[in-house]
Amino acid sequence: MNINATLISQALIFAVFVYICYKYIWPPILSTMEERENKMAAGLEAAKQADDSLEEAKLTYEKELKEAKEEAANIVEKANKRSSQILNDAKVKAEAETEKIIESGSKKLENEANKTREELKQQLSSIVVETASKIIDEEIDEKKHENIIKKAAEEI
């Protein structure tokens, strides 16, 4: 066996094999690897962008939530002020109406008292005249008697 011829033939076959691999097999493998590398880089970039946009969305959400809470607090405060104002207005109106009712009642009571006094004076004068007539057994002139009773009632 000839080591030289075998070695040269094996080296020549190996060189042809390397050339075929380098020319036809290696470029598709490299392109596939580059494609995968690009896809991985794009995926990592997309993940980073997703994280960034998620963080931005989170900040926007917190900001809008804070603004909404402040707006709700302002609305509640305004509603409380308005309800206090309505209650105060109603209280003032009720007090005014109460004063009117009390004043009206006082006037009616005073008028009724005056009317009752007048009626009592008239009834008293009639009773006095009748009693005096019975005591004296004579009839006294009613006009004179009324004048006397009115003077007496005014003194009382």
Stated as kind and residue range, the H or E segment containing 146 is helix 142-155
Distance, CA of 41 to CA of 10 (rounded, Å): 42
Q: pLDDT tens per residue, the chain (156 residues)?
A: 567 888 888 899 999 999 999 999 999 999 999 999 999 999 999 999 999 999 999 999 999 999 999 999 999 999 999 999 999 998 999 888 998 999 888 888 888 888 888 888 777 777 776 766 666 655 566 777 677 777 766 765
Cα–Cα dist 2/81, whole Å = 112
Number of Cβ atoms within 10 Å of the Cβ of 40 = 10
